[in-house]
Structure formats: C-alpha cells, structure tokens
Amino acid sequence: MGNTYKRVLLKLSGEALMGDLAYGIDPAMVDGIAQEISDVMQQGIEMAIVVGGGNLFRGIRGAAAGMDRATADYIGMLATIMNAMTLQEALERIGVPTRMQTAISMQEIAEPYIRRRAIRHLEKNRVVIFGGGSGNPFFTTDTTAALRAAEINAEVLFKATKVDGVYDSDPVTNPNAKLYRSLTYSHVLAEDLKVMDGTAIALCKDNNIPIMVFNLSVSGNIRRAVMGESIGTIVGESCEIR
C-alpha cells in the first residue's frame, strides 16, 4: 500500500503516556510511541505532534476544585511541555531529528512557536512537537491540534486514544455501545459525540481536515493509520454515517 498522506498531525493525549500507570509517565510507553513514530518517518511522511497534559495536571479539574480557571489552564500547559520534552528525548535517543516549539516562550528549552519555522522543519524531515497548548487558557489541546493542523496545512488529524474509535455512548459503561466507522462533522456536533471538543471539530470542518480516531494501545496503529489503513473512526465532510 502506498502512502496516503504526506503531512500529518498526531494528537497524543497525556493519558496515552501513562501506559498502565495511574499517574505520570511510563518510559516504556513513551519509548514504544517513539519507535512507531520513527517507523512512520522512515516512510518519508512529515509529522507534527500535539501532546496533552492530563497525565500530570488537567486544568478543568483544578478549576472544579476551586482554582482560578485561567491559572489552572496555564499549569496544564506546563504539563504538556513536560510531556513534549519527554517525547522529544525518546525520539532523539533513537536517532529521529526533532524540534519542540512552545506557545509559551521558554527559550532555554524550546523554540517559540513560529508557523513558517515549523513548516520548514517538517520539510527537512524533522518531527515537530508542539507544547504549551495554544498559549491561551480556556482552550483544550484538542483545539490546539486542530489549529496547528490548519496552520501547517496538514492533510489529516490523527487522534490517538485508549479506545478503538468513536462510539454512540461510553463503551466503558455500556457494553452495547456502537462503534462508528465513519461520521460527518455535522453529526458529531449535533449528537455531541465525545470525539474532540466542539471548537476543534468546527475548526476541522471549516478547513476540511479529516479526523481519524484510533486506539494507540494497539501496537503498530500509528503506522497503519498514516499508511491509510481503515482503522478506528474517520470524521469528514462527505463521510457516510456507518
């Protein structure tokens, strides 16, 4: 099978880096993700990554516990930067050229986010990791992923999760939940399906960026998704609902 995509954006949740741990970062899990990304890069595919921070700190939970929402969200952004640094180190340890850019200026450890520089890194076959969310409170890293995908002209946004795709209800609590293979943006928004937040879906819809949701815990799924195999759920403008 030939490459389906040339430039992609991968959204990794912070929870994906926990592995089987209850909190924090599982080095073995990070190393496994790094190896899969390396396999993709060897196919000549340009990849950017947005990392969440929920394994370390989630702003909305801090706000629910009484913290100022903006302050809590900024702490969550710092958590994403810690995860981004961890992934960068794992990639570089196996020889994958990597650049990290942050929406919050941290010149000692990363470049500031500059769109043209990010695109140039991709053209030079470097993985670009975006940390710090969008740099603004009240926005999720899902929205950041959609925003960065649009800015760098990514052909598709991959969301790697702990489930096989998008269901009509929570598969953890409902064993009869239906797995969708394809959906339209409008259906996701109308039914409030928990793919990504509404702002992220709307951004992808406005810029015609398809979203593929798949299970990260299945070994090799990142490569399968990028190479165009039919796994998980695809969300797009002209997708049939099935």
Q: Judge whether 134 is annotated as a binding position.
A: yes
In a domain, 201, yes or no: yes
Q: Judge whether 141 is annotated as a binding position.
A: yes
pLDDT tens digits along 97-155 = 999 999 999 999 999 999 999 999 999 999 999 999 999 999 999 999 999 999 999 99
Q: From 10, 40, 31, 26, select the one nearest 130 (Cα to Cα).
A: 10
Number of structural domains the chain divides into: 1
Q: Judge whether 13 is annotated as a binding position.
A: yes
pLDDT at 60: 86
15, 141 Cβ separation under 8 angstroms = no
Q: Judge whether 12 is annotated as a binding position.
A: yes
Q: Judge whether 220 is annotated as a binding position.
A: no
In a domain, 178, yes or no: yes
Q: Judge whether 132 is annotated as a binding position.
A: no
Q: Judge whether 159 is annotated as a binding position.
A: no
In a domain, 176, yes or no: yes
Q: Judge whether 135 is annotated as a binding position.
A: yes
Question: Is the confidence at residue 95, as pLDDT, over 70?
Answer: yes
In a domain, 125, yes or no: yes
pLDDT tens digits along 154-197 = 999 999 988 899 998 888 888 899 999 999 999 999 998 988 99
In a domain, 31, yes or no: yes
Model confidence band, residue 25 (pLDDT cutoffs 50, 70, 90): very high
Q: Judge whether 55 is annotated as a binding position.
A: no
pLDDT at 242: 67
Model confidence band, residue 2 (pLDDT cutoffs 50, 70, 90): very low
Query: What is the residue-wise DSSP string for 91-135?
Result: HHHTT--EEEEESS--TTTSEEP-HHHHHHHHHTT-EEEEESTTS
184, 237 Cβ separation under 8 angstroms = yes
In a domain, 242, yes or no: no
Cα-to-chain-centroid distance, residue 91: 16
Q: Judge whether 73 is annotated as a binding position.
A: yes
Task: CATH number of the domain at 111, please.
Answer: 3.40.1160.10
In a domain, 241, yes or no: no
pLDDT tens digits along 208-238 = 999 999 999 898 999 999 888 889 999 998 7
Q: Judge whether 136 is annotated as a binding position.
A: yes
CA atoms within 13 A on the CB side of 233: 26
For residue 130, give both structure tokens: 């975006």
pLDDT at 161: 87
Q: Judge whether 184 is annotated as a binding position.
A: no
In a domain, 2, yes or no: no
**In terms of residue numbers, what domain contains 50?**
7-236
Q: Give the bridge partners for 8, in sequence order.
A: 47, 156
